[in-house]
């Protein structure tokens, strides 16, 4: 489980095909502290398992499914990526609960300044948008953001200078894709209200 508070931007060192999988190597600094093989790290909001690591680099395998459903398949050497280690239960939850299971790809359709912030409009797949609410939370490339408003096909966020500086959202251009994950708790509540969760009797 993650918080959507990005620890640092890493850099793609290599992304090479190895059989059905692709091996992704990331250069980083802060997330390397205490990191061990087998741990989970989100890369642009997608939960990945650390396979190998050195002092300033770790690698993971990216499956065909992950490449198809996320923007990790578009990465190339030199690209910046958002990184976050799994949360500890004694940490502050500064963002919101993020599973790292990307639901779909959004697309940036507008990006404009508003005083000292940036307003960004993202077109979001319908299966994700139905779980979004105004002033609710959403993870965009792993970044916990508050939804300003909802439209028929997407949503608007307000990005403060700190977020623009510390995450890849600040350098994303019009037309680029974002990994999108709606609020986890909201999805479960909606599913329960829709009658999608089967009630199991208690054991006697």
Tell me the CATH number at 132. Answer: 2.40.30.20
**pLDDT over threshold 90, residue 120:** yes
Confidence (pTM): 0.91
Please tell me whether residues 57 and 134 are part of one structural domain. no
Under 8 Å between Cβ of 83 and 168? no
Q: Stretch 173-181: mean pLDDT, rounded?
A: 98
**pLDDT over threshold 50, residue 204:** no
Domain span at 177 = 104-191
Q: Alpha-carbon distance 122 to 98, whole Å?
A: 19
**pLDDT over threshold 90, residue 194:** no
Residue 117 three-state SS: strand
Share of the chain above pLDDT 90, in %: 82
Please tell me whether residues 149 and 75 are part of one structural domain. no
Instruction: Please give the pLDDT value at position 200.
Output: 52
- How would you classify the pairing of strands 154-159 and 117-123? antiparallel
Under 8 Å between Cβ of 137 and 148? no
Please tell me whether residues 72 and 122 are part of one structural domain. no
Please tell me whether residues 72 and 125 are part of one structural domain. no
Q: Alpha-carbon distance 53 to 40, whole Å?
A: 13
Under 8 Å between Cβ of 169 and 141? yes
Please tell me whether residues 109 and 62 are part of one structural domain. no
Q: Stretch 168-176: mean pLDDT, rounded?
A: 97
Asked if residue 153 is part of any domain, the answer here is: yes
Asked if residue 91 is part of any domain, the answer here is: no
Under 8 Å between Cβ of 170 and 163? yes
Asked if residue 99 is part of any domain, the answer here is: no
């Amino acid at each position: 489980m993650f918080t959507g508070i990005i620890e640092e931007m890493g850099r793609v060192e290599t992304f090479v095909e190895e059989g059905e999988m692709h091996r992704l190597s990331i250069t980083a600094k802060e997330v390397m502290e205490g990191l061990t093989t087998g741990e989970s790290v989100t890369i642009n909001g997608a939960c990945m398992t650390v396979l190998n690591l050195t002092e300033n680099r770790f690698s993971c395998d990216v499956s065909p499914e992950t490449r198809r459903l996320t923007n990790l398949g578009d990465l190339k050497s030199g690209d910046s990526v958002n990184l976050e280690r799994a949360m500890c239960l004694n940490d502050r939850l500064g963002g919101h609960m993020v599973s790292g299971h990307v639901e779909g790809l959004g697309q940036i359709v507008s990006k404009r300044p508003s005083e000292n912030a940036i307003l960004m409009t993202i077109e979001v797949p319908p299966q994700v948008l139905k779980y979004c609410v105004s002033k609710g939370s959403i993870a965009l490339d792993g970044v916990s953001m508050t939804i300003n408003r909802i439209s028929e096909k997407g949503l608007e966020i307000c990005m403060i200078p700190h977020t623009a500086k510390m995450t890849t959202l600040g350098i994303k251009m019009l037309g680029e894709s974002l990994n999108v994950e709606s609020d986890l708790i909201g999805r479960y509540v909606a599913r329960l209200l829709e009658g999608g969760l089967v009630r199991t009797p208690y054991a006697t």
